[in-house]
């Protein structure tokens, strides 16, 4: 099953699937999966998910879904980390840790370094 796509506002020029998008044009909203959106969010090319999303999402979208708590929050952070493109060095620190901005771009809510560490530890268990 493929991941549902959501709508994101275009903040800088973008080419996706052969189509060009620009902030001040008719093509100022792009439909992307969370995995496709993560690096673009981290780089500031697109904004947070806009109201025209095509799926209810899995919480923490920055709109009406608050961040989960406890073990569920750590699990969602781990999912966000796992969804990051490992080949995209812009999403990781020089030490190889996922950048906070990249994780937050996927979750839609703030993540602390401690929570990132807990999620990474859960990844090795």
**CB 99 within 8 Å of CB 36:** no
What stretch of H or E contains 109? none
pLDDT digits (tens, 9 = 90+) for 99-123: 988 888 888 888 888 999 999 998 6
For the chain, the structural domain boundaries read 70-124
User: What phi, psi does 10 have (nearest 5°)?
Assistant: -85, 125
The whole-model pTM stands at: 0.53
Q: What is the pLDDT of residues 14-66, one digit of tens each?
A: 888 888 888 777 778 888 988 888 888 888 888 877 654 333 333 444 444 57
> Which of 74, 3, 6, 79 minimizes the C-alpha distance to 40?
6
Distance (Å) of CA 76 to CA 1, 3, 10: 19, 16, 26
Q: What is the DSSP string of 42-82?
A: HHTSEEEE-TT-SS--SS--SSS-----HHHHHHHHHHHHH
Average pLDDT value for residue range 69-94 = 90
Put residue 60 in one of left, alpha, beta given phi > 0 → left and psi -120 to 50 → alpha.
left
How far is residue 93's CA from residue 26's CA, in Å, rounded to a whole number? 36
Band of residue 124 on the pLDDT scale cut at 50, 70, 90: low
């Amino acid at each position: 099953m493929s991941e549902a796509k959501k709508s994101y506002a275009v903040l800088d020029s973008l080419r996706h699937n052969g189509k060009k998008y620009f902030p001040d044009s008719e093509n100022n909203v792009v439909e992307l999966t969370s995995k496709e959106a993560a690096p673009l969010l981290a780089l500031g090319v697109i904004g947070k998910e806009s109201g025209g999303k095509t799926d209810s999402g899995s919480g923490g979208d920055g709109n009406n879904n608050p961040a989960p708590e406890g073990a569920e929050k750590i699990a969602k952070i781990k999912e966000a980390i796992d969804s990051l493109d490992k080949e995209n060095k812009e999403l990781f620190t020089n030490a190889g840790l996922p950048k906070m901005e990249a994780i937050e771009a996927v979750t839609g809510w703030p993540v602390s370094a401690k929570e990132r560490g807990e999620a990474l530890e859960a990844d090795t268990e």
